[in-house]
Structure 1
Amino acid sequence: MQPSDTQGLRQRKDIANGNGHTDTIVITEEGKKRDQQLDKHDRYEFGGPWGVFAMMTGFPMLMYYLWICLWFYDGQLVFPKSVDDIQPFLWRMWDHVRVDAYPTAYAWKVYSGNIFFQLFLAWVMPGYMQEGLPVPSLGYKKLMYKCNALLSLYATAIAAATLHYTGVFRLNAIIDNYGHFMTVAMIWGFAVSFGMYFVAVATGTQMRMSGNFFYDVFMGASLNPRIGPIDLKMWAEVRIPWVIVFFLAVSGGCQQYDKYGYVTPNMAFMILATFLYLNACGKGEECIPQTWDMYHEKWGFMVIFWNFAGVPFTYVYSVVYMASHDPSKYQFSTPTYVLLFSTLLTAYYIWDTAMSQKSRFKMQTQGITKFRKTFPQLPGCIVQNPTYIQTAHGNRLLTSGWWAYSRKPNYVADWIMSFTWGAIIGTATPIPYFYSVFFITVLIHRCGRDFERCAIKYGKDWERYCEVVKWKFIPGVY
């Protein structure tokens, strides 16, 4: 170890020595005691049973409302004009759902077909085997993950292009059947959430249970459910939401091209933005096992519904608006387009490299020094000779790269990207900004949960870390 600095911080450079060997983390007895403290239900989150029940019922209704406003009311937020108008207003809303979002057989076939196709690809495609972090809930067992998302995603793209150009399945149909697909996605989200709860209880794999049915369905019962080589939680995080998000953008582009003979810069922006995110999830899939989502967060409604329905059908409202409105409503000047594209690419670079820096640092602490090479590997994606704080728990807290300036640099960049996804249609409608508004709320809440957990897990070492990395989000601001 390098000598401590004047504040008593234990920091080390040259994490790997000349022969490629890396010292690995060892969880101390004190660390195990703190892990046990974190690995049990001791309080309710999200407002407890009533709070999660409100979210499980309220969020689907909000999704329907925003889609109706976007698709049928020119993107304007509509509401009853008087007390007497409340009942007729609610009936109008219901009629839109009943008629235009009915779960048709066609929607079931397409949406479910994608689910099973992604499962098939995850099972049969060759992949890079990645070892996960020691999981406290499993006695510090390290799970292996088959990372074949990138091949699967490109196989999906080839299959979709073939179906489109042969006329078997025109991609325009995705945006045209948006409401129908959304309802099917919600049904899938609810069915998988409740199904996984009952499977976990039946197989005795449930953990950190509160005893309240709805709360435990929301938070999840099992940690790492698997089908053969497929880790369902990681599979659903990558293969379902971002594939749909990307093809919704492509569908909007196809519709514009068929209608106008060209694709607007705004729609091209969304196709690029969603592709970057989708490709990043695939090319960096081996980094996902190192995240809190994988080794701590259970697979419940909070994650499942969001992956199956929430992300794909709330993040690309700008695409829905552009696909149903004349381009003159959201045209910009050339400098504005340059600014938006530059902001997107800059934020993407910071997000991609920040995520890579931290995940690969964690891999280094496991003794992994050879990393998967997928396109594009961006400069700065691996911190050379990283500095860190050695904790009494046994883990190490990175203080190099982007992580020297903010405790959550990836969140900042991720949110900026989300804002551009709304800004690409300007002030035509406020609804596409829902993603960024909702996202910042989620990020702030998640940071609170994460920082509280870290304070318990690392104690005084977390306080020392916060002295070194002072800013939670934006350096010099917050």
Structure 2
Amino acid sequence: MATKVNGDGLRQRTASSQSNGKVVAPSEEGKKIDQKLDQHLEYEFGGPAGVIAIMTGFPILMYYLWICLVFYDGQLVFPKSSDDIVPFFGRMWEHVRVDASPNLYAWKVYGGLIIYQLFLAWWVPGYMQEGLPVPSLGYKTLMYKCNAIGCIYITWVTAAVLHYTGIFRLTEIIDNFGHLMTVAMIVGFGVTIGMYFLTVTFGNPIRMSGNFIYDVFMGACLNPRLGPIDLKMWLEVRIPWVLVFFMSVSGACKQYETYGYVTPNMAFMCLATWLYLNACIKGEECIPQTWDMFHEKWGFLVIFWNFAGVPFSYIYSVVYMASHDPSHYKFSTPTYVVLYATLLTAYYIWDTSMSQKSRFKMQTQGIFTYRKTFPQLPWNVVNNPRFVQTAHGNRLLVDGWWRYSRKPNYVADWTMSLTWGLCIGAASPIPYFYSVFFIVVLIHRCGRDFERCAVKYGKDWEKYCSIVKYKFIPGIY
């Protein structure tokens, strides 16, 4: 493969190597390291006790924040005295029992979405994308059917027809938030446990710790498939971000029916959620190149979060706006300009940095084909990128956005999450949960990634860190 070495010791691909590349297999030493990393080495997330706390505590927290948002004017509430503790929890439970019951209507709506998205994923033609070599499969590469863009556009048309014919009004989504959330939680737990036992009984469980609850949380399978559908990639996009977008649209419809107009704040959330969903579907071929597909197993951590966590805890600003008078969060025109500009700038950096990294991996494998899906932004592919060639056999990108920090996509992603709270100002603290929780997740995930890279690449990782000095924000951290 043709390369040239710059004066700084970095390798840079020539144009000919990009069009005629081939898979870069790891060295024998690299394979030994991969084998070690593909085993259970130590507990994460606080081990069994920590994952039990997460699996029980997070659903409770989701209910609590929703109750505060809808029934207590968006403010955090607590027992007023020691004598109020039992009545307080009684009131909380009554809201869950009555206003978040898993009723038949919620099962029809949520279950209908799952079935429809599975049907479309199976039936709609798609672009076939080769993934990264998987160590646990002997460095075999899997093929992924990328048809999300067709499926989601069909879903949008279907939703519009159902809404305007009165068969299913989109306002009903936000009106049944609590009921849908409970159903989503049940599905999340059910699929998690079901997939664990199916994999242990009939599949090929990997990186198992031997502790039941911890292995349920982390998952047993890596690449679950249903016919042509990769379930892990399907779930990452087709349920959570579709729901997040339609909840925003539902909130906008609710405002329009109530006030006769849609506020700039609600329009902001419709734009923000559309940008995120559309980025996932128009660049779906980049997803197989990510850590989620390559390494993360399909357990509670991923399953519950995508079925329930993302759609029902990231969208609190929409829930607040749909149930409160717009006077609570009205901004000046310059404030709206800054808010929208911040979102669009962060989105551009996030979209293009993710694209640069994934397509660099495709270039390295020699499987890169440019898809003209809307909107492909300027600088989403780095031509003749500079990289660090590791002894392991992999290449570390140090060009494009990735020359400025090791995680530019995380910084941009978190900035977008912050704007999802800022769009209602100081009206309620609850919509800021997304950004607060997300920064904790990103820092933790970054630590996991950097530790793994240090083991995997050794001195080459030290060289990479000496070139790309900052973890997140250039010049700061």
TM bucket (normalised to shorter chain) is over 0.9
Cα deviation, residue 19, structure 1: 8.5
CA distance 1:449–1:320, shift in 2 (3 Å) = same
> Residues 255 and 262 of structure 2 are in contact (CA less than 8 Å); yes or no, is this contact kept in structure 1?
yes
CA distance 1:82–1:291, shift in 2 (3 Å) = same
Matches within 5 A, 1:86-101: 86-101=85-100
- Per-residue CA distance 1:395-417 (angstroms, 9 max, x = gap): 00000000000000000000000
Which residue number in structure 1 is paired with residue 425 of structure 2? Answer: 426
CA distance 1:408–1:19, shift in 2 (3 Å) = closer
> Residues 16 and 22 of structure 1 are in contact (CA less than 8 Å); yes or no, is this contact kept in structure 2?
no
> Residues 240 and 308 of structure 2 are in contact (CA less than 8 Å); yes or no, is this contact kept in structure 1?
yes
Which residue number in structure 2 is paired with residue 379 of structure 1? Answer: 378
- Per-residue CA distance 1:238-285 (angstroms, 9 max, x = gap): 101000000000000000001111100000000000000000000010
Q: How many residues align?
A: 475
Q: Give the percent of matched residue pairs that are identical in Structure 1 and Structure 2.
A: 74
CA distance 1:200–1:18, shift in 2 (3 Å) = closer
> Residues 69 and 76 of structure 1 are in contact (CA less than 8 Å); yes or no, is this contact kept in structure 2?
yes
Cα deviation, residue 375, structure 1: 0.6
- Per-residue CA distance 1:350-405 (angstroms, 9 max, x = gap): 00000000000000001124222211010000001100000000000000000000
Which residue number in structure 1 is paired with residue 324 of structure 2? Answer: 325
Matches within 5 A, 1:162-201: 162-201=161-200
Matches within 5 A, 1:3-42: 3=5, 5=7, 9=9, 11-17=10-16, 20-42=19-41
C-alpha distance in 1, partners of 2:396/2:268? Answer: 36
What SS class does the counterpart of residue 429 from structure 1 fall into?
coil
Which residue number in structure 2 is paired with residue 44 of structure 1? Answer: 43
> Residues 15 and 23 of structure 1 are in contact (CA less than 8 Å); yes or no, is this contact kept in structure 2?
no
Matches within 5 A, 1:96-245: 96-245=95-244
Which residue number in structure 2 is paired with residue 352 of structure 1? Answer: 351
> Residues 124 and 147 of structure 2 are in contact (CA less than 8 Å); yes or no, is this contact kept in structure 1?
yes
Which residue number in structure 2 is paired with residue 56 of structure 1? Answer: 55
- Per-residue CA distance 1:4-43 (angstroms, 9 max, x = gap): 756xx4x222343179322541211011011011000011
| 1:63 partner letter | M
Matches within 5 A, 1:286-325: 286-325=285-324
| 1:192 partner letter | V
C-alpha distance in 2, partners of 1:117/1:3? Answer: 51
C-alpha distance in 1, partners of 2:104/2:380? Answer: 45
- Per-residue CA distance 1:42-84 (angstroms, 9 max, x = gap): 1100000010011000000000000000000000000011111
> Residues 4 and 13 of structure 2 are in contact (CA less than 8 Å); yes or no, is this contact kept in structure 1?
no
- Per-residue CA distance 1:150-187 (angstroms, 9 max, x = gap): 11011000000000000000000000000000000000
| 1:89 partner letter | F
Root-mean-square deviation over aligned CA pairs:
1.0
Which residue number in structure 2 is paired with residue 467 of structure 1? Answer: 466
Gaps of 5+ in 2: none
Provide TM-score, normalisation by structure 1: 0.98
> Residues 16 and 23 of structure 1 are in contact (CA less than 8 Å); yes or no, is this contact kept in structure 2?
no
> Residues 21 and 367 of structure 1 are in contact (CA less than 8 Å); yes or no, is this contact kept in structure 2?
yes
Which residue number in structure 2 is paired with residue 2 of structure 1? Answer: 4
| 1:430 partner letter | P
Which residue number in structure 2 is paired with residue 278 of structure 1? Answer: 277
Which residue number in structure 2 is paired with residue 65 of structure 1? Answer: 64
What SS class does the counterpart of residue 15 from structure 2 fall into?
coil
| 1:149 partner letter | A
> Residues 130 and 367 of structure 2 are in contact (CA less than 8 Å); yes or no, is this contact kept in structure 1?
no
C-alpha distance in 2, partners of 1:369/1:122? Answer: 23
| 1:177 partner letter | N
What SS class does the counterpart of residue 475 from structure 1 fall into?
coil
Gaps of 5+ in 1: none
C-alpha distance in 2, partners of 1:181/1:373? Answer: 36
Which residue number in structure 2 is paired with residue 400 of structure 1? Answer: 399
C-alpha distance in 2, partners of 1:368/1:50? Answer: 43
> Residues 4 and 14 of structure 2 are in contact (CA less than 8 Å); yes or no, is this contact kept in structure 1?
no
What SS class does the counterpart of residue 375 from structure 1 fall into?
coil
C-alpha distance in 2, partners of 1:20/1:38? Answer: 31
Q: Which runs of 4+ in 1 moved over 4 A?
A: none
C-alpha distance in 2, partners of 1:122/1:387? Answer: 37
> Residues 68 and 96 of structure 1 are in contact (CA less than 8 Å); yes or no, is this contact kept in structure 2?
yes
C-alpha distance in 2, partners of 1:236/1:337? Answer: 33
C-alpha distance in 1, partners of 2:118/2:365? Answer: 29
Provide TM-score, normalisation by structure 2: 0.98
C-alpha distance in 1, partners of 2:5/2:289? Answer: 28
C-alpha distance in 2, partners of 1:456/1:5? Answer: 27
- Per-residue CA distance 1:114-144 (angstroms, 9 max, x = gap): 0000000000001000000000011111000
What SS class does the counterpart of residue 247 from structure 1 fall into?
helix
> Residues 52 and 214 of structure 1 are in contact (CA less than 8 Å); yes or no, is this contact kept in structure 2?
yes
| 1:66 partner letter | L
> Residues 351 and 414 of structure 1 are in contact (CA less than 8 Å); yes or no, is this contact kept in structure 2?
yes
